Chain A
């Protein structure tokens, strides 16, 4: 079946099977930042935004993306590069596999939350596993990024 969706503000049309997941469809369309991790919604590396909300694309059926707006990290270059700068400053960037998902979650948090205090950052980051950094350096980088944005 054919679906039509908007990916990073670009209209795309793609043939999918009824039980295809969005992570596979996005990869097929060439969005290589979308990673496959646990494949069971637990690790956060496959996170993309659907109509502005973070969702695990490994569990989101592609047919449900029909007529909806999907954002991958390629679609938020300013957030991604500013956050990458802060990740570098705090040593939060090692293998980088989890970075695209975290950047998208931070982007969505900025859009939706009026107060991004420590607890809010922690609440949004639950579900993003990182095996390199121990999370504190990421947290500091995100705080610094949000501080710069303000």
Chain B
């Protein structure tokens, strides 16, 4: 990606105005994937002077600034204590440490990358996004929206009232993108299951969640039905894995995930 000018903005309003002015103006987050695009931008908007790189633990939520690097999420003890540490595990599974010092949570979320490792646990945890402009919306709703956002992501908000969780990144090598990401979390409203790297962006396994959350007991038959439902989500082929492989590992790891989370709750 090329750009003609670069602006380190001094306020969110300045960034917002620039973004509305021209569709060729864009917020640059960590910049890890800039070279993957051949687009030419007018202005790159840099938010790094706005203090959006902090993790703030509140009573009911943890608020992660959009410019927070993945390495900081990986190292944060408050985040590690949530849902068996699934968000820390996912952040720590992204490439090497030097890349994680660069890549930000905001870039991962707004990019809606199919291969993003952190989107999957965030979706399972019921994260919300706080945009300058649109205000707060759920990550689930944001991922369903088509096209790019013309708002500025300020922070990602994760609830603290979570039970045990499970995260699995299926990959060929330690540095590779995922062939599949799976996250299962128990919340006050029951089980939440998210699947990413299908290879498209993360989605909730809504049918599986309904099966689990309407069951009287989480027995083997219920787990089997839920795992079949996750395996029947929409998957595809890419160089990392075939559609059939993804369906199979989704089924296998969903069973393991639910069993592990259920046993933790007991």
Residues on A facing B (Cβ under 8 Å): 1, 18-19, 39-42, 44, 47, 53-56, 58-61, 63-64, 105, 123-124, 126-129
B102 touches A60 (CB 8 A): yes
Picked from A58, A61, A124, the residue with its CB within 8 Å of the CB of B97 is: A124
B46 touches A63 (CB 8 A): yes
Picked from B4, B31, B174, the residue with its CB within 8 Å of the CB of A60 is: B31
A16 to chain B, nearest CB (A): 9
Q: How far is the CA of A86 from the CA of B3 in the complex (A)?
A: 44
Sort A-B residue pairs by CB-CB distance and give the 8 closest, nearest first. A127-B96, A18-B6, A54-B98, A53-B101, A126-B96, A41-B99, A56-B98, A19-B2
The stretch from B32-40, B112-120, B178-186 touching chain A is: B32-40
B102 touches A41 (CB 8 A): yes
Contact with A along B85-106 (1 / 0, CB 8 A): 0000000100111110110000
* Band of interface residues on B: 20 to 34
**Contact residues in A for B2 (Cβ distance below 8 Å):** 19
Contact sample, A vs B, 24 pairs, CB 8 Å cutoff: A18-B4, A18-B5, A18-B6, A19-B3, A39-B35, A41-B99, A41-B102, A42-B95, A53-B71, A54-B97, A55-B98, A55-B101, A58-B35, A59-B34, A59-B35, A59-B99, A59-B102, A60-B31, A61-B31, A61-B44, A63-B8, A123-B97, A126-B95, A128-B96
**Contact residues in B for A1 (Cβ distance below 8 Å):** 6
Q: Does B1 contact A (CB under 8 A)?
A: yes
B97 touches A126 (CB 8 A): yes
A45 to chain B, nearest CB (A): 11
B101 touches A54 (CB 8 A): yes
Closest residue on chain A to residue B99 by CB atoms: A41
B169-203 contacts to A (CB < 8 Å): 174-175
Closest residue on chain A to residue B48 by CB atoms: A64
B15 to chain A, nearest CB (A): 16
Q: How far is the CA of A27 from the CA of B101 in the complex (A)?
A: 22
B105 to chain A, nearest CB (A): 17
Picked from B35, B46, B98, the residue with its CB within 8 Å of the CB of A127 is: B98
Closest residue on chain A to residue B97 by CB atoms: A124
A109 to chain B, nearest CB (A): 9
Closest residue on chain A to residue B7 by CB atoms: A18
Q: How far is the CA of A128 from the CA of B99 in the complex (A)?
A: 11
B109 to chain A, nearest CB (A): 19
Picked from A19, A40, A47, A64, the residue with its CB within 8 Å of the CB of B98 is: A47
Q: How far is the CA of A42 from the CA of B30 in the complex (A)?
A: 15
Q: Does B28 contact A (CB under 8 A)?
A: yes
Q: How far is the CA of A124 from the CA of B6 in the complex (A)?
A: 32
B32 touches A127 (CB 8 A): no
**Contact residues in B for A127 (Cβ distance below 8 Å):** 95-99, 175
Q: How far is the CA of A41 from the CA of B32 in the complex (A)?
A: 7
B152-177 contacts to A (CB < 8 Å): 174-175
- A56-B102, A59-B30 known; 17 other A-B pairs, CB under 8 Å? A19-B3, A19-B34, A41-B98, A41-B99, A44-B98, A54-B98, A55-B101, A59-B31, A59-B99, A60-B31, A61-B44, A64-B48, A105-B97, A127-B95, A127-B96, A127-B97, A127-B175
